[in-house]
Amino acid sequence: MDAEQLRENAHKMVDFIADYYNNIETFPVLSQVEPGYLQKLLPDSAPVQPESLQTVLQEIETKILPGVTHWQSPDYFAYFPSNSSVAGFLGEMLSAGINMVGFSWITSPAATELEMIVLDWLANLLNLPHHFLSKGPGGGAIQGTASEALLVVLLASRDKVLREVGKDALGSLVVYGSDQTHSSLQKACQIAGVHPENLRLLRTEACNEYALSPESLTDAISHDVASGLIPLFLCATVGTTSSTAVDPLLALGKITKKYGIWFHVDAAYAGSACICPEYRHHLNGIEEADSFNMNCHKWFLTNFDCSALWIKDRNTLIQSLSTNPEYLKNKASQGSTVIDYKDWQIPLGRRFRSLKLWMVLRLYGVENLQSYIRNHIKLAQQFEQLLAQDSRFEVLSGKYILRFVVGAPLTEQRHITAAWRLFQEAASSLLETRLP
């Protein structure tokens, strides 16, 4: 890395990105290209001789940006929030600049220790129970995604039980969720070797706001136990993907305790809101959980990827995922006085992700982060009010619906109004074509 070359080129790149954000509203949010468009525009092989940054930036503008869907556009209301911010971006930039690979404490002590500290900060902000803090037997680790977080805790729970009952019992292990649980549970089960017939996605009802009912969980467990199966794992959700349902953590947690089931809480999307005291009650009962996950890269101004996972007993994870080859041995690890995050995740290598989360917390501060969440909820409520004034629409969930998600950092009231106008125009033209 030539420092002066970096200085010159990085300034140009920052200008390019700042201009992108200045013009972001001029792009169609959804890319309009056809499949395979880029292959027609780019050569078949990499250049033999170097090209200038200027040339590459021009091509990004003319060939790459048309194929980008603009997740950071203030007119983006799809899927779920996926926030960037100045602080998150600066943290990413610094992490790319330092470019260390912090799998063990010794490979970059600051990376491990900052991650522990920053996840303790966030745990305290969310008012999580003390057993999730790094000072006790548990602690937090940043994973790439909620799917990875779910997979590693499922593996930890599986191995814990198999150590007790023997490896042959793998086919008898049962995993529970609801029909609203994110599909990452199914994927995690596939990878962990849970028999496909032993994944119970229990039915939820509209009258119960699509939350998992403790009674149906008890019924399913009793039935499985009577059939000689072994209840292993429950994934409850705070803010399900399609219906934002909140499962009753306390009641579900008590059931898992009774049967010795691992209790994971997935708050990938909605967890961020719980830094506001008025929404914290959605986590009531979290003290019963064995693990908890929230995606800072969704609604917490932290650039992708940054998925925070806390676990009550880190040894279960370490027992499942640790390896100790000769070439990784070092005094600190041997002395067992440090955390080696390689044993908390699937890959060996890991990025310095805590930097961006730390920058977000420091450069915005808790009050601003709370206002940010509150403002999005207010904007969503304004959209709901607009909708309520038009008798052709109703707010509902769980049926075939139009999903509208407020959570892009740049969204203001005018974007909400413009989106609503679009809905109305589409409804008018739809109803016109349907009229006899």
From CA 314, how far away is CA 321, in angstroms rounded? 11
Rounded least distance, CB 247 to ligand PLP, Å: 11
Q: How many residues bind ligand PLP (CB under 6 A)?
A: 15
Chain residues 77-96 in contact with ligand PLP, contact rule CB under 6 A: 80
Rounded least distance, CB 295 to ligand PLP, Å: 5
Q: Inter-axis angle of helices 354-388 and 413-434, to 10 degrees?
A: 50
CA atoms lying within 13 Å on the CB side of residue 338: 24
Tokens of 433: 């074509």
Using the minimum distance from each CB to ligand PLP, give the nearer residue, 204 or 237: 237
Rounded least distance, CB 242 to ligand PLP, Å: 9
From CA 25, how far away is CA 290, in angstroms rounded? 43
Tokens of 79: 């899927």
Using the minimum distance from each CB to ligand PLP, give the nearer residue, 224 or 266: 266
Annotate each residue in 38-67 with x if it binds ligand PLP (CB under 6 A) or - if it does not, as one string. ------------------------------
């007993």: which residue's tokens?
A: 313
The reply on whether position 204 binds ligand PLP by CB under 6 A is no
Residue 405 and residue 77 in contact, taking contact as beta carbons nearer than 8 Å: yes
The strand pairing partners of 200, in sequence order, are 176
From CA 283, how far away is CA 303, in angstroms rounded? 24
Rounded least distance, CB 299 to ligand PLP, Å: 10
From CA 165, how far away is CA 171, in angstroms rounded? 12
Using the minimum distance from each CB to ligand PLP, give the nearer residue, 85 or 243: 243
Tokens of 429: 């033209």
Chain residues 230-269 in contact with ligand PLP, contact rule CB under 6 A: 237, 239-241, 266, 268-269
Using the minimum distance from each CB to ligand PLP, give the nearer residue, 78 or 169: 78
Rounded least distance, CB 305 to ligand PLP, Å: 7
Using the minimum distance from each CB to ligand PLP, give the nearer residue, 157 or 184: 184
Residues 6+ apart with CB under 8 A from 79: 403, 405
Rounded least distance, CB 421 to ligand PLP, Å: 28
Annotate each residue in 162-191 with x if it binds ligand PLP (CB under 6 A) or - if it does not, as one string. --------------------x-x-------
With 0-12 / 13-18 / 19 or more C-beta atoms within 10 angstroms meaning exposed / middle / buried, residue 426 is exposed
Tokens of 111: 């990376």
Tokens of 55: 């040339």
Using the minimum distance from each CB to ligand PLP, give the nearer residue, 186 or 315: 186
Calculate ∠ Cα 108-109-114, nearest 5°: 110
Rounded least distance, CB 302 to ligand PLP, Å: 12
Annotate each residue in 137-156 with x if it binds ligand PLP (CB under 6 A) or - if it does not, as one string. --------xxx---------
Annotate each residue in 93-132 with x if it binds ligand PLP (CB under 6 A) or - if it does not, as one string. ----------------------------------------
User: Phi and psi dihedrals of 336, rounded to 5?
Assistant: 55, 30
Using the minimum distance from each CB to ligand PLP, give the nearer residue, 307 or 411: 307
Rounded least distance, CB 300 to ligand PLP, Å: 12
Rounded least distance, CB 62 to ligand PLP, Å: 30
Annotate each residue in 274-313 with x if it binds ligand PLP (CB under 6 A) or - if it does not, as one string. ---------------------x-----------x------
CA atoms lying within 13 Å on the CB side of residue 37: 12
User: Phi and psi dihedrals of 310, rounded to 5?
Assistant: -115, 145
Rounded least distance, CB 201 to ligand PLP, Å: 14
Residue 296 and residue 360 in contact, taking contact as beta carbons nearer than 8 Å: yes
Any idea what DSSP says for residue 312? S
From CA 219, how far away is CA 205, in angstroms rounded? 16
Footprint of ligand PLP (CB under 6 A): 80, 145-147, 182, 184, 237, 239-241, 266, 268-269, 295, 307
